[in-house]
Structure 1
Amino acid sequence: MAEYVIPAPRIADKPGLADLPKILAAAPHRMMFFAGASAVLLSMLWWACFLGAGYFGHAFPAAPVPAGWAHAVLTQYGMLPLFIFGFLLTVFPRWMGQPALTKRHYVPVFAGMFGGYLLAHIGLLDLKPLLIVGLAMMCAGWIYALTALGGILLRNGAKDRHALSCYVALLLGVCGLAAFLAFVLGAPPQLATVAIKLGTFGLLLPVYFTVGHRMIPFFSASVLGAGYRPFKPSWSLPLLWALLLGHLVLELTHNLDWLWLTDTSLALLFLRHWLAWQPWKCMRPGLLAALYLAFAWLPVAFALFAVQSLILHFSGEFVLGRAPVHALTIGFFGSMLVAMVTRVTQGHSGRPLQMGAIPWLTFALLQLVALTRIYSEVATNMALWQVIAAFGWLIAFTPWVLRSLWIYLTPRIDRQPG
């Protein structure tokens, strides 16, 4: 398949401040990953300060909506989609053999989504009008991205199943974001719940699994060669969507004690793929190993969901609290973010495909953060452990974010475009 690149403007060997916009806009992943890396710290900085102020008795501006809901929505619809759109705006044309998108396709996405994300976070400091404007800008940027990606998909005749799966998830995502905006504008609070559940099980999980289903076997085959048989069955994505839609129906109808029906199946589905990809053969190089270690959180998370539901079904007790959710969001989403974004960043900046000390440090610390947040649900002093987990996220991610931001703001080291 021919690979298309975006012509890059000529930039001096030692770029100055005037060159930074050109460098940042040289490729969609560079611009959107810059926004996402910034959001990784900003999202948790606000949340950690909110939790810390509440626990230690300090004053902190009250959010105009329930803070926990705002945390869930702005991480799921603000922070992580910045990376998702950066990746998909880059690979959609390549997956379907079409010319790369140009700046007019992705710069408005960056402006709408990242600009809106920043305004929404300022709005959480008891400034509701800014929260509304920020969410509206995020919706506008999202719709613009859907238009650009949708054009590629239409020209392909929607034949690429991975692209189609991702696009459906993005459609559900904009519906969820719009539902939360409607809630902020005065609609019933049930719409906020719909938004949060759609973000987890209708947007993020389908995109993460779909990309993993395509890319993890590809990366493994690239390393292991002809002796490795990639496992990418055609039934995986339809089964995933059927089970996730079943999970969503049970969640939104408050039948949590029956979630074990879908979640046991999901745990087995994810475990089946992880084993079929033969992780024991893929522990070298580190970038590949990190993908497998991150994916291992997925069957674990849904095993916890299933156990939670079974206990609730037979005893009426919700003993694990939000431990399964955070095994999924911090354990899987967070770890896979570090693994996948590091790989893309290394390759698209002309650097060796190596994990490196800083990404490994962040990855290892993030495992501790996930375990800490899971433990907080059963700890006697839950609030303290939640504060520790929130600040732990900041400590874990800071070196990785700073390194990543430097890469996105400097030219490729091989002087190639992009």
Structure 2
Amino acid sequence: MNTKPSSEASSAGLSPALLAAAPHRLLFFVGAVNVLLAMSWWLLWLVDARWGVIGLRGGTPFGGWMHAFIMQYQLLPPFMFGFLLTTFPRWTGTPDLSRWHYVPVGLGLLGGQVSVVGGMLLGQEPMVHVGVMMSLVGWGYGLIQLLRSLLAERRAGKGPTWHAWSCFAALGFGLLGLLCMVAFLHGAAPWTVVVSIKVGTFALLLPVYMSVAHRMFPFFAGNAIPGYRAWRPMWVLVAMWGLLLAHLGLELAHANTWMWPVDASFALGSAYVLWRWWPGNKGPGILRVLFLGFAWLPVAFTLFAVQSALYAAGGDFVLGRGPAHALFIGFFGSLLVAMVTRVTQGHSGRPMAMPAAGWFAFATLQLVAVTRIAAEAAPDTYFWQVVAAAGWLIAFLPWALRSLSIYLHPRADGRPG
């Protein structure tokens, strides 16, 4: 493939109209904006909680709840929808989606994020309501478009493509989580927020990440490393869903003392998967960061298992939110950088190599993850949470700005898309 910029492409200027040229352009653009917007608000909230120097207005839902909601339902999902709306037709062998199938998704998710964050900053709960509803509408519209590809595959007598169905099921759980937040904002009991947050972690994000990794990581390695043997048995997806739903059920039932066998099994299982996939020191850096980021998964579930075991032994939740942030920052954050950078490089006609901004974001996120985990045991936990939030922004700023520029410019190789 020719990856050298054509004279026409390299001389072309910024064009916002290009955002509608492909699903990943628009949705990744929305996600990159949200990466900075969401954590900027959270940094201000943490600074205000620690020092009280900003004076953010009240009258809105608890900031900690909204932080978890925004990260799970508004920051990461645009990237997921951008990838899946691009790949579903390819996985299922059905026609590509048109811009009218994905532009409303991007607009709904972007408007939802801006409205929710704006409402939290200004102390305007109606803005939060509107933002959650916008996210719900965009999400539902995106689910319909993904279902179109699945049904078209079935009508053509193909498939089923189980990775696609697994991702679709996870996004369906995500719709349930959004509805729980809507219910809370319209007067339902606080437990609906807890359900929304837990569903977002264990029935939405983890299944999507794992399903995509199971299909794509061995494929990527096989393309880059001669002699690499791709390993992706379908029982891995079945076991993943069983263990994650078991964890979710136990957590929602407050049966925390019995979570450790499930979490230990998931830690061991994910470590085994990583071992089977591991490319060693072979392959380019843009491949190896996928597996380095995946290594946070067994680490996170080991911490979950230790937390549950200590609690079962009569202790307390001594690790606090540490295991969750090993998952959110270490696993989700690292693979966000690794996967989105790879897709952005390939779909913009650039060399399949990790750019400097990508390396900086990935390396800095490792420090941010460790800092946030350690903050749970620090004497001044809010201070170290502020440091971690600022670290997230420092890590992502060059990467996000570079990505935003790419999505607003023609492909470097002059091809459409």
Verify same fold: TM over 0.5: yes
The CA RMSD over aligned residues, in Å, is: 1.3
Say yes or no: does 1:137 pair with 2:160: no
Q: Residue in 1 aligned with 2:165? A: 164
- Aligned identity (percent) is 53
Give the whole-Å Cα distance in 2 for the aligned partners of 1:185 and 1:287: 45
Say yes or no: does 1:45 pair with 2:40: yes
Give the whole-Å Cα distance in 1 for the aligned partners of 2:224 and 2:315: 49
2:278–2:291 contact (8 Å) kept in structure 1? no
Q: Give the letter for the 2:142 counterpart.
A: A
Give the whole-Å Cα distance in 1 for the aligned partners of 2:351 and 2:116: 37
Give the whole-Å Cα distance in 1 for the aligned partners of 2:69 and 2:342: 27
Q: Residue in 1 aligned with 2:402? A: 403
Give the whole-Å Cα distance in 2 for the aligned partners of 1:163 and 1:271: 24
Q: Which ranges in structure 2 are unaligned for 5 or more consecutive residues?
A: 1-7
2:45–2:56 contact (8 Å) kept in structure 1? yes
Q: Residue in 2 aligned with 1:27? A: 22
Output the TM-score relative to the length of structure 2: 0.95
Q: Residue in 2 aligned with 1:6? A: none
What does 1:146-165 align with in structure 2 at a 5 Å threshold?
146-157=143-154, 159-165=160-166
Q: Runs of 4 or more off by more than 4 Å in structure 1?
A: 11-17
Q: Residue in 2 aligned with 1:189? A: 190
Give the whole-Å Cα distance in 1 for the aligned partners of 2:289 and 2:212: 15
Give the whole-Å Cα distance in 2 for the aligned partners of 1:74 and 1:63: 18
Q: Give the letter for the 2:415 counterpart.
A: Q
2:260–2:305 contact (8 Å) kept in structure 1? yes
Q: Give the letter for the 1:102 counterpart.
A: S
Say yes or no: does 1:79 pair with 2:75: yes
Q: Which ranges in structure 1 are unaligned for 5 or more consecutive residues?
A: 1-10
Deviations 1:263-309 (A, max 9, x none): 01110111111000133154x30001100110000000000000110
Give the whole-Å Cα distance in 2 for the aligned partners of 1:350 and 1:13: 11
Shift in Å at residue 247 of structure 1? 0.3
What does 1:321-336 align with in structure 2 at a 5 Å threshold?
321-336=320-335
SS at match of 1:124: helix
Q: Residue in 1 aligned with 2:177? A: 176
Q: Residue in 2 aligned with 1:55? A: 50
SS at match of 2:141: helix
Shift in Å at residue 16 of structure 1? 5.3
Q: Structure 1 pair 310/221, CA: closer, same or farther in 2 (3 Å)?
A: same
Deviations 1:141-194 (A, max 9, x none): 111001100011112236001000000000000110110111011111100000
Compare relative contact order (CA 8 Å, sep 6+) and give the higher one, 1 or 2: 2
Q: Residue in 2 aligned with 1:209? A: 210
SS at match of 2:280: helix
Shift in Å at residue 198 of structure 1? 0.4
Q: Residue in 1 aligned with 2:386? A: 387
What does 1:18-417 align with in structure 2 at a 5 Å threshold?
19-21=15-17, 23-58=18-53, 59-62=55-58, 64-125=60-121, 126-157=123-154, 159-225=160-226, 227-282=227-282, 284-417=283-416
